[in-house]
Structure 1
């Protein structure tokens, strides 16, 4: 469409629908930006990639129900409320200068429109799942940096940066304890390429993002949204180079997680 303010060389997102009560999402996987903003960025590709969540979309590829966003969080962050979803100053995004010059109100609104449409899609899919199942899980998969002082500097200690962090802040924790507690045990016991990963709840992150909050607000008795963070042990966060063996293990873990969570969510009425 000529002059389409949302036009991009990449699709908005990929949505797959299949069987089961678990929807896996990777809303920060994307790196694409819409054509109209491509020359407005002060931040280069490598700088954007460092704060995005690459390979999380690949990790959930075997989930029958999955949503993978292809737009960069630096165009619009789907895990923030609409009014703060477009970064407009360094204090909103790790001190980074994102734009060469301030975006116009029209440019901000065009980015917010993507946010509105993504949440409309999330609402539509979760409404259908609520019709099909007494309860369902949204497994919202992210990743985070642990070498912020530089490629050659010491990483953040594991006591502050577990391999996996589960965020449960926005959920009614007691309601979903029969899902979360055994899932944490499953993750701690999982054979991940011959080792056990460190697992924590609400340590590095608490699950305060808008994506999970939306699910809990829209489906307070049926929707269990779990914010899942992989530490970027599976890649070099400064060069972006992945470790293929670790990516394969992540994909197996996510495949097995979908099966385990599906069983747990259906083990009792919500």
Structure 2
């Protein structure tokens, strides 16, 4: 892994970033800077459940990727900057996170610095990709589907696909065929694993990272925001189903040749 920007405390970059397909897993991190950890009352198990543990392992099928280590409870890199730091329970699913019920202004500003460091490091790499032509960023996340408890029934599958592909801000005129190719390829699944239920914009449509790319590189950058339902792990214990995770990794890897072909057509 190569740290190309001197920001290893917030983000490192794997690969040479020659493009044109890169990946992020911005909610995979679990770390906190010491002063944030000291101010936090939220128990670690609940925090881990609301993060996206192990999504960096899914994103790792892409050679060129950003690797982040900080928890979304320090700075949520997929929210707009004005919403990126959870200060009160209403900012984060009603959870009581901080001593005294709210985060201090000083700690808030420090967390905004974490947010800014990520985007300041990412932007020049994406700028270089955009100069060479169209590119795709696979923005890998996960989501809970058993919120009623460890022993409760999962949320209905009809409203919760195994992979939700967020494309709401994608330029469909330019990238429509690429999106359709990606959906067809990931739905095919992996050998011996069966098909994957992948659908667009059912529960998630893509947020700040997608907006950043699409605003900064119109007609050039395409973000596919991928929410993997936690069928490959127990969201209450964080135990990983290695077989299912391998199937999903292989299915995602199987989309890469098609993405490269579609990007080459756009060039």
Q: How does 1:223-242 map to 2 (within 5 A)?
A: 223-242=221-240
Is there any run of 5+ residues in structure 1 with no aligned partner, and where? 1-9
Q: Does 1:36 align with 2:65?
A: no
1:30-85 deviation line (CA, Å, top 9, x unaligned): 00000111121111110011011111101122312101211000111000111110
Query: What corresponds to 1:136 in structure 2?
Result: 135
Provide closer, same or farther for how the CA distance between residues 95 and 262 of structure 1 changes in structure 2, counting only shifts above 3 A: same
SS of the aligned residue for 1:146 comes to: coil
**Size of the alignment, in residue pairs?**
258
Alignment partners' CA distance in 2, 1:258 and 1:14? 22
Query: What corresponds to 1:112 in structure 2?
Result: 112
1:109-131 deviation line (CA, Å, top 9, x unaligned): 11001111111122111101012
Alignment partners' CA distance in 1, 2:87 and 2:68? 21
Query: What corresponds to 1:3 in structure 2?
Result: none
Question: After alignment, is 139-148 or 86-95 more displaced?
Answer: 86-95
User: What is the Cα deviation at residue 170 of structure 1?
Assistant: 1.5
1:123-172 deviation line (CA, Å, top 9, x unaligned): 1111010122x200011000000000011111011111000000011122
SS of the aligned residue for 1:162 comes to: coil
Query: What corresponds to 2:219 in structure 1?
Result: 221
Alignment partners' CA distance in 2, 1:257 and 1:141? 14
Alignment partners' CA distance in 2, 1:103 and 1:174? 43
User: Structure 1 length as normaliser, TM-score?
Assistant: 0.91
SS of the aligned residue for 1:143 comes to: strand
Alignment partners' CA distance in 1, 2:191 and 2:43? 34
Alignment partners' CA distance in 1, 2:255 and 2:116? 29
Is there any run of 5+ residues in structure 2 with no aligned partner, and where? 1-7
Query: What corresponds to 1:4 in structure 2?
Result: none
Alignment partners' CA distance in 2, 1:253 and 1:20? 20
Provide closer, same or farther for how the CA distance between residues 204 and 96 of structure 1 changes in structure 2, counting only shifts above 3 A: same
